[in-house]
Chain A
Amino acid sequence: MKLFEYEAKQILRSYGAATPRGVVVAQGEDPLTKIREAGLTGKLVVKAQVLVAGRGKAGGVKLANTPEEAAEIATEMLGSKIKGVTVRKVLIEEAVEHDREWFASITVDRAARDFVLLLSTEGGVDIEEVARENPEAIIKYHIPPERGLLPYKARELGKEVGLRGRALNSFASTLVAMYRAFIDHYADLVESNPFTVVNDRVVLLDARMIIDDSAIRLGLVKAEQDPAETGELSEWEVRARRLGLNFVELDGYVGIIGNGAGLTMATMDLVKHFGGEPANFLDIGGGASAEVMKKALNLLMEYPKAKSIFINIFGGITRCDEVAKGIVQALKEVGARKPVVIRLVGTNEEEGRAILEEAGIKAFTDPAEAAKEAVRLGGGE
């Protein structure tokens, strides 16, 4: 789960990191009242709380000379769209006079199976661009998870990016704070781009955090987010999320349901291979029950982009009889409003086929034949 900037900053502050003084204003609230209540004065920055990349360039970050001007900007920004995403909250912060900007991030390194810290003197710009064009401007340190990020290491790294004296110590404690927040929140990412130094103190001007969904699922981290508010998901993806389904909207016309991410993607690719266009990705996962299958099929029956539906199941931990029960129930409840092509093989295949046959439904065994049929019925070549 991606956190909003103000949420990430709240967490990082609780670990002792410094951020500019600020206040969050939601739609329906009066920005000027909130600014005055928070005691903010002078030049202010108004930042749209949206989870899109390149927010600044898209007009989501604006400077104001007075609280009144900031309130005006906030009023305009709230409810407007940044890269297609509605702004529901803004963060208004005191503008921090500064000359230099740095970048720091901590992520999981898949290949090395550890945590990796990236640090750069070129903050405030797209770090992937820096990585491409000026890779030596980025310092990389692999943090051994067994002992974590030690303060001495943070000081050594700070010296490498030009920090000295009290600012160096402030940097070290900020970096350790970021690392502790990263660990405690099972984060995939903690990032500040940029941070700066004011009066020998490191201040995080921006912050991002992504939390491992598995940790949230297990209750190890408490985090709630209304899927509709993130702006990252389409209307249909939000609907699917609320049903607990793993669904990604695409632009084609053949609806796809598969079990397992790899097979579901391969099913999309197969539809494309036979001249069709997949309308979505929908993975019912491992060991799906009849109930999950039913929900999945009902969703695609309503999903207007899908003109035909291709269900491709290769049972392993998922059992074909459960899947077949779900299909029969769904068709009984909502009816076959669209052509459905089923390919069903694997664990408990015979039981599954028997259930389908009893309901007068035919299932394919060959995925290529099934894919061609789904493309044809969807109106493709």
Chain B
Amino acid sequence: MAVLVDKGTRLLVQGITGREGSFHTKLMIEYGTKVVAGVTPGKGGMEVHGVPVYDTVAEAVREHPEINASIIFVPARFAPDAVYEALDNGLRTVVVITEHIPAHEELRFVRYGRSLGARIVGPNCPGVISPGKAKVGIMPANVFKEGSVGIVSRSGTLTYEIAAAITREGFGQSTAVGIGGDPVTGLDFIDMLEMFRDDPETEAVVLIGEIGGDAEERAAKYVKETRYPKPVVAYVAGRTAPPGKRMGHAGAIISMGTGYYADKVRALRAAGIGVAETPFEVAELLKNVIRK
């Protein structure tokens, strides 16, 4: 098992004819992900790396009823429309790679998706990989390997860094999920902790946070209050980040008294979660809590 995506995933790529959509379709197919169809309005009838392209999601799911997940590479202006299109055509696992979607739009489609029981990953995220099973995202596959550590992260490239570091030390992953760097995200740390708790393959969870907001504090509270049954270790980026400055991600800003590094680390440690000082130290902390 794994969470969110696995060997049974049959993927639709929305925005498949664009530069990123096409490039990553190729890489996902090479990884072994079953990419069934693509959508780009006005480009129906084309093929991209052997994948048929449709004008609408409705057509794609009619021709390929096995589709059970979508990944969205559509530009920010049209991305909310693409998310609603996926949801309204019955898809319940939707990965949104697109960056720069306004927060007001995000919270509206995230609320709609959650009301349907859908799982939206992102926006502004690297996607999901269940090593050896399926990759629905843009991450470099070679740093991941099959195993029992679940990774959940607000940052894309930092996920790769930490996955590479723990893979090198012999810890493979059940699933790695980038939940996205925007203030509003679909799935959050707590949703992922719940999924990893129920996944028999996952033995420990690595939580990768950053300054801004209070998602790490809420995750810590959840771990403490539910006496979370699996070990959790964490890394938080931004120890040297100054207050009041947006650090790249829209969500990464220390403002209005919240989002400080020290508060996050304190809350995590108080919940019994080991916090690594560097990305490489994550592997050291894992050695203390699980076998390779």
Contacts and interface: CB of A to CB of B under 8 A. Distances in A.
Interface of A: 108, 110-111, 113-114, 128, 131, 145-146, 183, 186, 188, 212-215, 217-218, 220, 246, 248, 250, 258-266, 268-273, 278, 281, 283, 285-287, 314-318, 345-347, 349, 367-368
A113 B113 CA distance: 12
B146 to A, nearest CB: 20
A314 B248 contact: no
B102 A266 contact: no
A13 B202 CA distance: 56
A248 B40 CA distance: 37
Given A262-B153, A316-B160, A113 B107 contact: yes
A250 B242 contact: yes
Please report whether the interface of chain A is mostly helix, strand, loop or mixed according to DSSP.
mixed
Interface in B233-258: 235, 237-242, 245-252, 256-257
B287 interface: no
Nearest to A272: B240
Contacts of B157: 258-260, 262-263, 314, 316, 318, 346
28 contacts: A108-B103, A108-B104, A111-B213, A111-B215, A114-B111, A212-B102, A214-B102, A218-B77, A248-B242, A258-B157, A260-B157, A260-B158, A261-B248, A261-B252, A263-B155, A263-B160, A265-B211, A265-B238, A265-B240, A266-B279, A268-B240, A272-B240, A285-B248, A286-B156, A316-B140, A316-B157, A317-B20, A367-B161
Contacts of A285: 99, 248
Given A113-B114, A186-B104, A214-B101, 15 more contacts: A145-B108, A214-B103, A250-B242, A261-B247, A261-B248, A262-B153, A262-B159, A262-B181, A264-B247, A265-B240, A265-B248, A266-B155, A270-B278, A272-B239, A314-B140
B13 interface: no
A188 B102 CA distance: 10
Closest 9 CB pairs of A and B: A262-B155, A261-B248, A260-B157, A262-B158, A263-B157, A283-B248, A261-B249, A265-B237, A215-B102
**Counting chain B CB atoms within 10 Å of each CB, which of A186, A346, A368 scores highest?**
A346
A347 B139 CA distance: 8
Interface string B94-113: 00010111111101101100
**Counting chain B CB atoms within 10 Å of each CB, which of A183, A188, A214, A367 scores highest?**
A214
